[in-house]
Amino acid sequence: MPTLAPNVINRVDKLPKPSNTAQAMQPLFEAVSNAIFAIEDVQKTRSDHPGTVDIYVTGLRNADKLDIEVIDNGIGLDDTRYEAFCQLDTDFKKERGGKGVGRLFWLDSFSDVRVESKYLKADKFHERAFAFLLNNDEQLREDEERRHLSRVRNTGTVVVFKGLREANYRKQFPASAELFKRYFSAHFIADFLMAKGPKVRLDIDGEEARYPEAVSGLVVGKPFEASTDEHKEFGVVKITGFTCKPEASTGLDGMHQLHLLADGRNVEPRKIDKLLGIDRVHRNGEDDLVFHGCITGDYLNRHVNEGRTAFNLAESKIKELIRFCTEFIKDKFLTEQIAEYSEARREDYRGFVQRYPIYDFADEDTQLDRVPFGARSPEEFATGLVKYQIRRDEARQNNIETVIKLLEDGQNVSATFAETVIKAAQEVQNSERLALAQHVVRRKLVLELLERLIRRIRDRGEREEDFHLESTLHSLIVPMRLNGSDPTKAEASGHDLWMVDERLAFTRSFSSDQRLAETLKSGGTDVRPDLLVWNLAHGLGVVDPSDDGAEFDASEPLRKAMIVEFKRPGRTQYKKAEDLVELQITKYLRQLKSGEIEAFNRQSVRVAPDCIFHCYVIADIKGDLKEQLAGWSTTANGEGRIRALDNEFKGSTIEVIQWQDLVNDAWARNVATLHAAGLSRSQKAKN
C-alpha cells in the first residue's frame, strides 16, 4: 500500500513568518536550546559535567554573508537522536515540551544549514556530519568535509547557519552586535537569572560576552520563590522573582518584567511597570532596582504554539494571567514597598480630587480600586474614573426621567414614591455640589495666581525689561491679540473675564489688545484698547447667548459697550500726554461712535451715536496717576475714582479701580460658593 509522502517544502512554507526581531532569532534560539538539552542529557549520568555552549557570529550586517556557529559539549547526535532528527514532527522531546518542528525553522530562515556531531557508542567515539536541505527528495546529505568537528573534543554537536533565506527573516534579523546581544539576553534571561544550565559564550566578530555571569551578576539578593493557590482556569502557577540592577532590563520594553515560560523556555516577556506601580525596587541597601519574575505552569505549557514563539491564547486572557501573577507578587514578595507606594498613591488621589472635585463621587477606596494600580497623575486618575462618572450621570438622569414620566402620565404611584423623589433630588444635589466644587476650585486657583502675579510685578518695580510681566497679567485675564467672536479662534478665546465683571463670564464678543482698525469694519486706527466688550454681557449688547453661531438681528444698533484698560500694578509714572487716562479713553470712543463692529458670521453691529460706554481703568492709584485724578469723584468705597463724561459722550463714565479692589471684589462675589464647596481664601493670598 502507498504511504503519504511528506512535502517538506510546503510544510516549511506554511510555518509562521517573523514580524519582529525576537521571532526572527527564534531558529537560532532553537539551536541554542537544543545544545542546552544535549548537555543536560550528559549531566543525567555525569552531574559534574561542565556544560558549555559557544556561539560565534560574523557578517551581521550582510544577510548573504551571515555566519553563525553553535557548538556544545553535550551528548551528541547518537543513533536514537539522529533517528528523531530524521522524523518529521517527532515526539522525541515531548516530555520537555518539544514539538518536533524547531529544526524546520532552520530551513525556513537560513540558506545553508550544516550539522556535525561526535557521540559515544559502545564506549567508542563516532562521528556524523550532514547538510540539512530544503528539498522534498533529499533533506540530509552526507558531508565528508567535516570542517567543524575539530572544535568538539569529546562528544558534542556543531550547527552552522549561513545566509538568511526568507524575506521576513532578512528584514527582521538584527544587523548590529548590540541589538543581537539585547535580544539574546532577553530570550534566555530566565535561565541566566537563575544561573542554571551550562556556561554560554557569545562571540560576535571577536567581541565576547559570557553568560549567565553577564545577567546573574545583576541580581541583588536571593530570589523569591512561591506558588499561587489553585486558580479556576490557570491552575497553580509557580513564580520565581528576582530583584536586579536596571541593566537587566536592557533591550526590553519597560523596566519590571514577567517572563512567561513554557516547557522550560522563555516564550515572551511582559512589562508590568504600571501594574506593579512602584518605579524602582529597593533591597539590600540598593534603591535603583527592577523586578523580574519567571512564570511557569501547566497552563502555559498546554497553550504554547508549536514554535514556542507565542501562546495560543487571546490577549485578554494573557493580560488576566499577568494581573493575577502581579497581584501575587505585590502581596507575597514586595509587601512593604507596595504598602509605601499605596499610601503615596492615596495622597496623590486626595490631591487630585481636591483639584478636580467632580471625581469625588464615591468613597476613596472604591475610586482607587477603579483605576489602574500604576495611576498616579491627574490624567491617569481621570481616565480611569470617567466611565464610572458617565454611568453615574446616566443612571441619575434615567431615575429623574422616570419620576417625571410617572407624574406626567398620572399613573398610580407606590407608597415608596416619596423616597424615589427624595433620592432623585439628592442625586441632583450631590451632582451640583461636585460641579460647584470643581468650578470654585478653579476660580480659587486663578484668583490666587492673579494676586501673586500682581505682587510679583509690584516687587519688580518699573523696570522696562519686565514688560512681559504686564502682558502675562493681561493674558491671565483674557488672551491678547484676539477677537473672541472669531469662529476660527473658538478654542483660544477662553478667558477669565468674570474677574472683571461676572456678567462677562461667558462672553465671546470682545476684542483684546487689537487695533481698532481690525475691530471696526472701517475707520479705525492703530490704537488698541486693552479690552472692548460689545455684547453678551446682560444689557451690554443685542445677541442672545443661546444663539451661538446662529443668525441674529443686527438691525438694532449697539447702545451699550464696555472698555477696560489694564495699567501695570505698582506703576507711578504717567508723564506723557498719551498717559492721560481720560484722553486715552475718549480717543477710543470717538472712533467707536457711529462705527460698525464686525461680529458673528461676519455680520456687522452698528454702534449707535448715543451709545453708552462703561469705561474702566484697572490701576494702582499712586504717583502721577493720583495727581491726575485729583479732581475726580471717589467711588462708594473711597478707594477708586469715577468721572462722568459730558457733551458728545454724555451718559458714559470712566471709573478707575484699584487692582486690589478688583481682586477683593472677585473674591467677595465667590465667597458663598467657596464656603459651599468647603474652601476659603488663603491667608497668604490676602497679605
Domain presence at residue 357? no
Q: What would the pLDDT profile of 619-638 be if each residue is shown by its tens digit?
A: 999 999 999 999 999 998 89
Sign of CA dihedral 532, 537, 543, 545: positive
Report the pLDDT value the prediction gives residue 621, as an integer from 0 to 100: 96
Confidence of residue 464 (pLDDT cuts 50, 70, 90): low
Are 434 and 577 found together in one domain?
no
Range scoring the smallest mean pLDDT among 10-24, 212-226, 289-303, 425-439: 425-439
The average pLDDT across 181-198 equals: 83
What span, in angstroms and rounded, lies between the C-alpha atoms of 615 and 561? 8
Confidence of residue 574 (pLDDT cuts 50, 70, 90): very high
Q: HEC profile for 375-425?
A: CCCHHHHHHHHHHHHHHHHHHHHHHHHHHHHHHHHCCCCCCCHHHHHHHHH
Burial class (CB in 10 A: 0-12, 13-18, 19+), 445: exposed
Range scoring the smallest mean pLDDT among 268-282, 339-353, 450-464, 525-539: 525-539
Are 238 and 195 found together in one domain?
no
The average pLDDT across 231-249 equals: 93
Pairing of strands 52-58, 199-204: parallel
Is pLDDT of 542 > 60?
no
More confident residue, 467 or 207: 207
The average pLDDT across 14-18 equals: 89
Are 180 and 281 found together in one domain?
no
Domain presence at residue 522? yes
Range scoring the smallest mean pLDDT among 220-234, 394-408, 416-430, 668-682: 416-430
Are 303 and 226 found together in one domain?
yes
The average pLDDT across 50-61 equals: 95
Given a contact cutoff of 8 angstroms between Cβ atoms, the answer to whether 435 and 654 are in contact is no
Is pLDDT of 152 > 90?
no
Q: List 601's β-bridge partners, or say none.
A: none
Cell match 501573577: residue? 325
Highest mean pLDDT among 126-135, 538-547, 668-677: 126-135
Is pLDDT of 333 > 50?
yes
Confidence of residue 493 (pLDDT cuts 50, 70, 90): low
More confident residue, 295 or 360: 295
Domain presence at residue 684? no
The average pLDDT across 273-279 equals: 90
Are 32 and 166 found together in one domain?
yes
Confidence of residue 98 (pLDDT cuts 50, 70, 90): very low
Are 205 and 223 found together in one domain?
no
Q: HEC profile for 190-253?
A: HHHHCCCCCEEEEEECCEEEEECHHHHCCEEEEEEEEECCCECCCECCEEEEEEECHHHHCCCC
The average pLDDT across 566-577 equals: 91
Q: What would the pLDDT profile of 348-360 be if each residue is shown by its tens digit?
A: 999 998 888 878 8
Are 376 and 282 found together in one domain?
no
Domain end position, chosen among 209, 244, 268: 209
Confidence of residue 97 (pLDDT cuts 50, 70, 90): very low
Is pLDDT of 243 > 70?
yes
Domain end position, chosen among 286, 314, 338: 338
CATH number at residue 44: 3.30.565.10
Are 477 and 590 found together in one domain?
yes
Range scoring the smallest mean pLDDT among 74-78, 284-288, 508-512, 572-576: 508-512
The average pLDDT across 577-586 equals: 92
Confidence of residue 5 (pLDDT cuts 50, 70, 90): low
Q: What would the pLDDT profile of 588-621 be if each residue is shown by its tens digit?
A: 999 998 788 876 556 677 888 888 999 999 999 9
Q: Is 569 helix (H, G, I), strand (E, B) or coil?
A: coil
Domain presence at residue 548? no
Highest mean pLDDT among 159-173, 204-218, 455-469: 159-173
Domain presence at residue 538? yes
More confident residue, 268 or 685: 268
**How many domains would you assign to the chain?**
4
Is pLDDT of 253 > 50?
yes
Domain presence at residue 356? no
Is pLDDT of 345 > 90?
yes
- Give whole-number Cα distances, 327 to 56, 70, 266, 288, 337, in Å: 41, 40, 21, 22, 13
Q: Chain-wide mean pLDDT for the chain?
A: 85
**Region label for 381, one of left (φ > 0), alpha (ψ between -120 and 50) or beta (otherwise):** alpha
Are 151 and 197 found together in one domain?
yes
Are 246 and 126 found together in one domain?
no
Is pLDDT of 272 > 90?
yes
Confidence of residue 4 (pLDDT cuts 50, 70, 90): low
More confident residue, 4 or 257: 257
Is pLDDT of 150 > 90?
no
Identify the H or E element spanning 24: helix 21-24
Domain presence at residue 351? no
Three cell numbers, residue 635 = 467711588
Are 138 and 183 found together in one domain?
yes
Report the pLDDT value the prediction gives residue 492, as an integer from 0 to 100: 56
Domain presence at residue 410? yes
Q: What would the pLDDT profile of 656-665 be if each residue is shown by its tens digit?
A: 999 999 999 9
Percentage of the chain modeled with pLDDT above 70: 87
Confidence of residue 414 (pLDDT cuts 50, 70, 90): low
Domain end position, chosen among 393, 424, 440: 440
Is pLDDT of 296 > 90?
yes
What span, in angstroms and rounded, lies between the C-alpha atoms of 242 and 223? 5
Report the pLDDT value the prediction gives residue 404, as an integer from 0 to 100: 73
Instruction: From 530, 522, 539, select the one nearest 592 (Cα to Cα).
Output: 522
Confidence of residue 539 (pLDDT cuts 50, 70, 90): very low
Report the pLDDT value the prediction gives residue 415, as an integer from 0 to 100: 60
Given a contact cutoff of 8 angstroms between Cβ atoms, the answer to whether 131 and 140 are in contact is yes
Is pLDDT of 146 > 60?
yes
Is pLDDT of 462 > 90?
no
Is pLDDT of 466 > 80?
no
Instruction: From 161, 182, 165, select the one nearest 21 (Cα to Cα).
Output: 182
Given a contact cutoff of 8 angstroms between Cβ atoms, the answer to whether 52 and 198 are in contact is yes
Is pLDDT of 33 > 70?
yes
Report the pLDDT value the prediction gives residue 144, as an integer from 0 to 100: 81
What span, in angstroms and rounded, lies between the C-alpha atoms of 3 and 603? 88
Domain encompassing residue 479: 467-542+556-675
Are 302 and 423 found together in one domain?
no
Distance of CA 50 to the CA centre of its chain: 48
Rg from Cα positions in the chain? 39
What span, in angstroms and rounded, lies between the C-alpha atoms of 310 and 22? 11
Give residue 655's identity as a one-letter amino acid code.
E
Report the pLDDT value the prediction gives residue 271, as an integer from 0 to 100: 94
What span, in angstroms and rounded, lies between the C-alpha atoms of 133 and 111? 9
